[in-house]
Amino acid sequence: MTVDTLETPVTQALVWGQVRRRALITVALPLAVLTYLVYTWFAFGVPELLSRAQPERALILATDSVAYKVHVTKDFRHNDFKVAIEGERTATYDNAKLPKWVQIDGENGVVDLGDGYQVEIDGKTALFTIPGYGVVKGTATAKGVDTVLPDGPVPDWIKDNPRKLDVRPTLDRRLQITKTKIEVHNYFGGWENFWFPFRSPLYGMSFSQLYALALSADRMDPDTSNLWFIVNEFLKNPDWQHGKVFTALFETIMMAVLGTLTAAFFGLPLAFLVARNFTPSKLFRFGTRRLFDFLRGIDMLIWSLIFIRAFGLGPLTGALAIAFTDTGSLGKLFSEALENIDNKQVEGVRATGANQIQRYRYGVIPQILPVFVSQVLYYLESNTRSATVIGALGAGGIGLLLVETMKTSRDWENTSYIIILTIVVVIMMDQASGWLRRKLIEGK
């Protein structure tokens, strides 16, 4: 009889023990995760958060970002009518050239909101005809508003209190009356004044008109060509600030590109100092490795705060913050790649009588080049996203612009515009670097 002394015999107890252990893990692990999630649910204060949440803000953002409104205002102080896009002084229609849906006759006016909805303004009284409900009558008095509603229960889209009447039968039609004014909002889809400001001579022109204008010899502005004039009017649009947004995007891209390239530029030579097979000196290796750890450990957040103090706002600050952090990360990755190279190739080059520089150039670099290029491009991708965040900390670029427009929160369509552009730029950088990586590494 032979006994296998190398392997312990499989007994029933052993099998059961292992089965039990596995069963315990499969039960205990999900339970532990679940407990942790429950703990964080309360640690983050989710119940309180849900009660405080303002989902209507998301709705406002959503409607406001795809629509704009035109205010028709009757002001009792000046006793006049004003029709203005978003109620802005700079975008007020000339009373002789009003849109078709507004008719004004001295003291009185009729605003046709479409689909049978109509507001008649007669002195200080407004009559709002709502199909399927009736006529809401509101009169501004010295103290507030007198309201006459049709019989029956008051729907929740009418907010009637003695100081203010607010009627919004549909999302895109609204009447407000206070003691000082009657205001009708009519909503339209799209982004207003997107191309040119309201006061610009180019406002409302079609593309073919613009094309013809750009080619025509009569100059709008005697000092510049028509094409330049059109571009300028577009970039200097005060509502949308295209010029400023484009500059900010450019700054963000510059931060990412400069930061990553600089990090690669310094990371590669330093990586040679860390790799065991290139630097025999333990002291050097230890020192450089700790330098990498230090650069990485300080983190982009702290680096950018320090650089903002020193260099102020701008792309340079962001680029340096990215460069410092990523010199550490890339250096570490490169040094690992260097330690894993095949020494045979280097020896082969040495056998031909190559000197040290030639050995590095023809024996080492070709081996780590794919790692180098692909890692640098990966970092470029992720740094484009990081650059938006660093910008928001105060380094400038699109991140800061986004935070600022969100804080003022006057026109949500501006915020949406910046968000869309940022996403487009980030995705484009992603695609470009992916394309470049395939092209360079796989030779496709």
Partner 1 sequence: MAVAALEQEILSMRKRRQLYSMIGLLLVVAVLVSGYSKSNAMNSGGFIQGLSKFFDYPGEIVVEAFDAGPAFFSLVLQFVPAMMETLNIAAVATLLGGTMAVVLAMASTRNVDSWGPLIPVVRRIMDITRAFPELIIALFLIFVLGSSPVPAMIAVAFHTAGALGKLFSEVNENIDRKPIEGLSACGASWLQRIRFAVLPQVAPNYLSYFLLRLEINVRASAILGFVGAGGIGQELRRTIGWGKGAGDETAAIFVLLFITIMAIDQLSSYLRGKLVGSGRAH
C-alpha distance across the termini of the chain, in Å:
64
CA distance 245 to 253: 12
365 is a site residue for partner 1 (CB under 8 A): no
Instruction: Answer for the pair 395, 307: CB distance below 8 angstroms, yes or no.
Output: yes
341 is a site residue for partner 1 (CB under 8 A): no
Give the residue, chosen from 15, 18, 23, 45, that forms a contact with partner 1 under the rule CB under 8 A.
45
What is the closest distance, in whole angstroms, from the C-beta atom of residue 422 to partner 1 in the complex?
A: 6
Q: Kindly tell me the sign of the dihedral angle through the C-alpha atoms of 350, 356, 358, 363.
A: positive
Instruction: Answer for the pair 196, 203: CB distance below 8 angstroms, yes or no.
Output: yes
Of 78-86, 163-171, 183-191, 258-266, the window that binds partner 1 (rule: CB under 8 A) is 258-266
CB within 8 Å of 170: residues ≥ 6 apart? 117
360 is a site residue for partner 1 (CB under 8 A): no
- Identify residues 369-408 at the interface with partner 1 (CB under 8 A): 375, 378, 385, 388-390, 392-393, 399, 402-403, 406
Given strand 181-189, what is the order of strands in its sheet?
80-85, 67-75, 181-189, 173-177, 164-170, 158-161
426 is a site residue for partner 1 (CB under 8 A): yes
Q: Which is nearer to partner 1, 13 or 37 (CB)?
A: 37
Q: Kindly tell me the sign of the dihedral angle through the C-alpha atoms of 49, 51, 57, 59.
A: positive
Of 81-89, 107-115, 180-188, 308-316, the window that binds partner 1 (rule: CB under 8 A) is 308-316
298 is a site residue for partner 1 (CB under 8 A): yes
443 is a site residue for partner 1 (CB under 8 A): no
Give the residue, chosen from 267, 315, 331, 363, that forms a contact with partner 1 under the rule CB under 8 A.
315
Between the CA of residue 210 and those of 118, 196, 199, 237, 239, what are the distances in Å? 36, 11, 16, 16, 20
Q: Which is nearer to partner 1, 154 or 301 (CB)?
A: 301
Q: Please report, to the nearest 10 degrees, the dihedral formed by the alpha carbons of residues 23, 28, 34, 37 taken in order.
A: -140
Give the residue, chosen from 91, 113, 136, 333, that forms a contact with partner 1 under the rule CB under 8 A.
333
Give the residue, chosen from 193, 317, 327, 383, that forms a contact with partner 1 under the rule CB under 8 A.
317
Q: 401 in the Ramachandran plot: left (φ > 0), alpha (ψ -120 to 50) or beta? A: alpha
Q: Which is nearer to partner 1, 350 or 385 (CB)?
A: 385
Three-class SS state of 32: helix
Number of residues engaging partner 1 in binding (CB under 8 A): 69
10 is a site residue for partner 1 (CB under 8 A): no
Q: Please report, to the nearest 10 degrees, the dihedral formed by the alpha carbons of residues 219, 223, 225, 228 taken in order.
A: -120
What is the x/- site pattern for partner 1, positions 81-120, by CB under 8 A?
Answer: ----------------------------------------
How would you class 167 by CB atoms within 10 Å of its CB: exposed for 0-12, middle for 13-18, buried for 19 or more?
A: buried
Strand partners, 181: 75
169 is a site residue for partner 1 (CB under 8 A): no
Question: What is the distance of C-alpha 214 from the center of its chain?
Answer: 33
Q: Which is nearer to partner 1, 140 or 319 (CB)?
A: 319
432 is a site residue for partner 1 (CB under 8 A): no
What is the closest distance, in whole angstroms, from the C-beta atom of residue 134 to partner 1 in the complex?
A: 36
Which parts of this chain interact with partner 1 (CB under 8 A)?
Answer: 33, 36-37, 40, 43-46, 49, 52-55, 57-58, 61, 251, 254-255, 257-258, 261-262, 265, 293, 296-302, 305-307, 309-317, 319, 332-333, 336, 339-340, 375, 378, 385, 388-390, 392-393, 399, 402-403, 406, 409, 419, 422-423, 426-427, 430
